[in-house]
Amino acid sequence: MTGRCQNRVMGIGWRGQRVALVPLDKSKHMDNAWRWVNDPEVTQWLLIGDYPTTRAMEEAWFDAHDAVNPKEIHFAIETLVGLHIGQCGIHSIDYVSGAATTGLFIGPPEYRGKGFGRDAATVRTHYAFEVLGLRMLYVEVFAENEASIRNLKQLGYEEYGRCPARYWRRGAYRDTVELVLTREKFSPQVQ
Ligand X SMILES: CC(C)(COP(=O)(O)OP(=O)(O)OC[C@H]1O[C@@H](n2cnc3c(N)ncnc32)[C@H](O)[C@@H]1OP(=O)(O)O)[C@@H](O)C(=O)NCCC(=O)NCCS
- Give the residue, chosen from 73, 90, 100, 104, that forms a contact with ligand X under the rule CB under 6 A: 104
- Give the residue, chosen from 87, 122, 151, 176, that forms a contact with ligand X under the rule CB under 6 A: 151
d(CA 163, CA 143): 9
Q: Is 112 in the site for ligand X (CB under 6 A)?
A: yes
Q: Is 170 in the site for ligand X (CB under 6 A)?
A: no
Positions in 36-65 near ligand X (CB under 6 A): 42, 45-46
CA angle 58, 48, 128 (to 5 degrees): 90
- Give the residue, chosen from 34, 105, 127, 157, that forms a contact with ligand X under the rule CB under 6 A: 105
Which segment (24-32, 48-56, 65-73, 99-107) binds ligand X by CB under 6 A? 99-107
Q: Is 75 in the site for ligand X (CB under 6 A)?
A: no
d(CA 129, CA 125): 6
d(CA 95, CA 73): 13
d(CA 135, CA 155): 14
- Give the residue, chosen from 114, 162, 170, 185, that forms a contact with ligand X under the rule CB under 6 A: 114
CA angle 32, 147, 19 (to 5 degrees): 50
CB closer to ligand X out of 81 and 96: 81
- Give the residue, chosen from 73, 128, 141, 179, that forms a contact with ligand X under the rule CB under 6 A: 141
Strands of the sheet with 14-15, listed across from one edge: 14-15, 19-22, 73-79, 84-94, 99-106, 136-142, 172-182, 158-169
| Torsion sign over Cα 10, 92, 168, 120 | positive
Q: Is 113 in the site for ligand X (CB under 6 A)?
A: yes
Binding-site ranges for ligand X (CB under 6 A): 42, 45-46, 104-106, 112-118, 141, 145-148, 150-151
